[in-house]
């Protein structure tokens, strides 16, 4: 769980996203950072026994700096107003699937998978889907997965309009072959973040994605 003070800091930062305000509230941020890192440590303690691929992870592998990279951004606000948690055997270099938690007032969600894989990774995943579509169907039709996520995420920015090169439009898996990202997410009420059972609730939702993550990683790393 996180403290209400942490959520309030994020709201205040959203209204005062500038360096002067941040420096004036540096002590508050240090408390937020400690709270944030303790939350991630709790997730690792909960997940590691149930997903051995995470065994080598440390808190620093799963957290993000609050400073935004504004070099090529139209929005020059210097600080992020959310907390993100990325738990993956590939750490933060996105070379493997993982679990993700996004904490932002009114925009919280949990999920995972692999977002925008590199072209070579994308080809491997599509190949796996094409040849082992039955495996994917079994994973996505699992009662627990469907009760939480329903299906993989699909929108205009993450989906091709036409079949990818080399695949027939009649392929039974064509709607999944058109995907450019392979993620599933569920939104949740921000109030949950401050509840004592927050970590256990979210960890259960994350672990519902483990078979799907295994499918993605099999595609990337199988010989």
Q: Give the chain's end-to-end CA distance (angstroms, integer).
A: 40
DSSP-derived 3-state class of residue 119? helix
pLDDT exceeding 90 applies to what percent of the chain?
90
Q: How far apart are CA 194 and CA 163, in angstroms?
A: 44
Residues with Cβ within 8 Å of 163's Cβ and at least 6 positions away in sequence, in order, are 169, 171, 174, 177, 178
pLDDT digits (tens, 9 = 90+) for 78-103: 999 999 999 999 766 667 999 999 99
**Per-residue tokens: 191:** 């109030």
Q: Are 3 and 69 in contact (CB under 8 A)?
A: no
pLDDT digits (tens, 9 = 90+) for 108-152: 999 999 999 999 999 999 999 999 999 999 999 999 999 999 999
pLDDT at position 156, please?
85
**Per-residue tokens: 64:** 């993000």
CA distances (Å), 218 to each of 117, 121, 157, 210, in order?
A: 14, 11, 25, 12
Q: How far apart are CA 41 and CA 39, in angstroms?
A: 5
Q: How far apart are CA 46 and CA 103, in angstroms?
A: 19
Would you list the domain boundaries of the chain?
A: 4-221
């Amino acid at each position: 769980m996180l403290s209400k003070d942490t959520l309030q800091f994020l709201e205040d930062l959203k209204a005062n996203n500038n360096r002067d305000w941040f420096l004036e509230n540096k002590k508050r941020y240090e408390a937020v950072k400690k709270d944030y890192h303790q939350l991630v440590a709790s997730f690792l303690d909960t997940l590691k026994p149930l997903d051995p691929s995470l065994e080598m992870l440390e808190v620093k592998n799963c957290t993000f700096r609050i400073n935004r990279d504004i070099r090529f951004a139209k929005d020059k606000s210097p600080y992020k107003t959310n907390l993100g948690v990325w738990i993956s055997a590939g750490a933060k270099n996105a070379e493997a699937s993982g679990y993700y938690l996004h904490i932002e007032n009114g925009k919280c969600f949990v999920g995972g998978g692999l977002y925008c894989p590199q072209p070579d990774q994308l080809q491997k995943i599509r190949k796996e889907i094409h040849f082992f579509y039955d495996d994917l169907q079994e994973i996505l039709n699992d009662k627990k997965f469907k009760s939480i996520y329903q299906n993989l995420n699909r929108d205009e920015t993450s989906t091709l309009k036409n079949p990818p090169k080399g695949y027939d439009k009649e392929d039974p898996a064509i709607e999944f072959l058109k995907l450019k990202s392979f993620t599933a997410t569920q939104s949740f009420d921000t109030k949950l973040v401050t509840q004592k059972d927050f970590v256990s609730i979210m960890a259960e939702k994350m672990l519902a994605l483990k078979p799907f993550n295994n499918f993605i990683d099999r595609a990337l790393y199988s010989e």
